[in-house]
Structure 1
Amino acid sequence: MSADLDQQAANWVIRLNEGNLSEREHQQLERWKAADPRHAAAFERMQGFVGRLQALRPQQAPVQAALEAVRVRRRNPAGRVLLGLLLALPVALALRAYPPSYLLADQRTAPAQWQRIDLQDGSQLTLSGNSAVDLTFDGQQRQVRLLRGEILVQVAHDATRPFTVVTDDGQVRALGTRFTVKRESPGTLLGMLESKVAATGASQQNAVHVSAGEQARITPDAVTLLGKIDPRTTDDAWQRHQLVVQDWPLPQVLDELARQYGGHVQFDREQLADLRVSAVLPLDNPRRAMQLIADGLPVRIRAFSPLWLQIERVEK
């Protein structure tokens, strides 16, 4: 799709969202859409993206403010030329954090928002904050594709249809079980709470069985057992939206909190690498969690805006 076509589509979407198009302008819009199938496709695509961005509550205010700024300028002939670019800027920035795969997912959560879904087969799926999944349930299979974030799965028994969780790294086939799956870089982290699963890397043929109390990392080439976990502690932390850490490096903790913050968290990994954290932190209130860390470690939080924090080391 050309930049010029994007600009035209953005212009029409903004004017339509203002809600004051005349009848003649509505007719002009319909004629423009009918003139070329690419026009209608560009309009629908731009309208869909703007709608999805506005639906993301933590980012809704900045996007709406950007739209308002565009509306103020649209009566200026020179400003009309910039309408598409002005709209494209917040869209481009938001898509860095929220790519199309997230925006178009069957189910998704905003940062610090948890959601439990009752699936049609009786299974339960819980999404942690900033997570997204696609669902495929038919007569042959029950598949959850984890696009980002982390999920807790409670699988209902169905002897005729396998239940699988799939990521780019591989897949987990449930054998009547309860488990967590988390997208990481690198790999996918699997935590077994009950029963067992068969885990397979995307490039592998042979499955590895992972049982209750075990943790494994799945990469395309291997499934590696990482050691033991406490299923009850892990389950309780999920129910309470908590991050339980024992002697973690501070940058690793901040990575987890930043994913739930919904803005930009800036810090120097090398500067903070030797600081260790043992704590129970509220993932559904990442700003408070960061303050708890700052209260106990030689670091301070600087807020440049509601969506931009800096964590830096200080001498105490």
Structure 2
Amino acid sequence: MSEVEPLSLDDQAVDHLLRLHSGTAGARERAEFQRWRRQSAAHEHAAREAEVLWQALGHTQAAAHHRRTAQRSWRLPAMAAVLCLALLLGLLAAPRTLVGLYADHSTAVGERRLVQLDDGSRVWLNSGSALSVDFSATRRDVRLYRGEALFEVAKDRQRPFVVSAGDGQVQALGTRFDVDLHGAQAQVTVSEGVVQVASGGAAPLRLGVGQRVSYRPGVAPGAVQALDPSSASAWQRGKLIFNQRPLGEVLAELERYLPERILLRDEALRRRKISGVFDLDDPQALLTTLERLQPVQITRLPWLILVRPAPRG
């Protein structure tokens, strides 16, 4: 069983700021944030970026309006911080939307699209995805900037078909495979034929039908996992299929189809196993079903969906 996907550094930085501005933070929370940001240069960069944006929010009319609304409606200092957090998450997401301006092909959040390439290959782009194509007389290169793409590659022995995603490359030795770039991690799944995955300077790894592997920058690909290829590419058919998947993974997958960010801080809930088949044309229905069948409470705010344990009793 796969592990719950960890929060990105941007999300972790925002999570720390939410605690610090909740109205209940003390010396312990401030010390924890300082220890967290000293872990690496990347941690410090994420912390500074979040702080700059948070401070800027205090001078916007939208932030002032949300603070007044929070005070009138909830009368909780923490809710004002959460509403500012929603604005902050929207700003943090803005640079990622710029990718679509220079990519050859891109999809908006909630959109899925089939792209026909010049060589006869076909690419299905999942929600919020972007890629560029560079074909020459000797190679067929594709760069996946973000999101997920399912490739059905036309045969051409004279021109290798290579997909670059993150810090690695995937070369088609067969016909049909999926590449999912989520933050710094890329995941490759094969549904037909064979592919070759290279990352972190290690020897290339071959994947066959029904196999999946993940890789991160600077390290070799992880252990090969077996899976049902039809379930893995269910998004192409407009479905999401989960079989005993941790709720943290389910929400991370659902988030790509929604304009809002989803925040779940409860670790017990993140590990809770979920099963079901859901329709991608109505992603909000998944949240409604979760709230009805699972011990969760869902709060919808501008640009943000909060998932918390349901109140007892």
- Scaled to the shorter chain, the TM-score interval is 0.5 to 0.7
Q: Rg: which structure is higher? A: 1
CA shift digits 1:190-246 (9 cap, x unpaired): 101011011111423x211111111111333212333211123334x1332222111
C-alpha RMSD of the superposition? 2.3
In structure 2, what is the equivalent of residue 261 of structure 1? Answer: 258
CA shift digits 1:45-83 (9 cap, x unpaired): xxxxxxxxxxxxxxxxxxxxx9xxxxxxxxxxxxxxxxx
Does structure 1 retain, via aligned residues, the 8 Å contact 2:264–2:270? Answer: no
Name the aligned partner's letter for residue 309 of structure 2: R
Among residues 100, 106, 112, which one is paired with 1:114 in the alignment? 112
> 1-side partners of 2:127 and 2:227: how far apart?
22
In structure 2, what is the equivalent of residue 96 of structure 1? Answer: 94
Q: In the comparison of the two structures, how many residue pairs are matched?
A: 225
In structure 1, what is the equivalent of residue 144 of structure 2? Answer: 146
Q: Does 1:282 find its partner at 2:279?
A: yes
- Sort the Cα spacing of 1:203 and 1:284 in 2 relative to 1 into closer, same or farther, 3 A: farther
> 2-side partners of 1:215 and 1:155: how far apart?
18
Q: Does 1:311 find its partner at 2:307?
A: yes
> 2-side partners of 1:114 and 1:222: how far apart?
31
- Higher RCO structure, 1 or 2 (CA under 8 Å, sep 6+): 2
Structure having the larger proportion of residues in helix: 1
Superposed, which structure 2 residues align to 1:1-316 within 5 Å?
93=91, 96=94, 98-204=96-202, 206-219=203-216, 220-235=218-233, 237-270=234-267, 272-305=269-302, 307-314=303-310, 315=312
In structure 2, what is the equivalent of residue 45 of structure 1? Answer: none
Structure 1 position 106, deviation (Å) = 1.3
SS of 1:260's equivalent in the other structure is coil
SS of 1:225's equivalent in the other structure is coil
Name the aligned partner's letter for residue 312 of structure 1: R
> 2-side partners of 1:100 and 1:113: how far apart?
16
Name the aligned partner's letter for residue 193 of structure 1: S
Does structure 2 retain, via aligned residues, the 8 Å contact 1:271–1:313? Answer: no
> 1-side partners of 2:232 and 2:201: how far apart?
29
SS of 2:232's equivalent in the other structure is helix
SS of 2:108's equivalent in the other structure is coil
Name the aligned partner's letter for residue 291 of structure 1: T
CA shift digits 1:69-127 (9 cap, x unpaired): xxxxxxxxxxxxxxxxxxxx99x927535353343211111111100001000000010
Paired-residue identity, %: 31
SS of 2:221's equivalent in the other structure is strand
Unaligned runs of 5+ in 2: 1-61, 63-86
> 2-side partners of 1:104 and 1:245: how far apart?
34
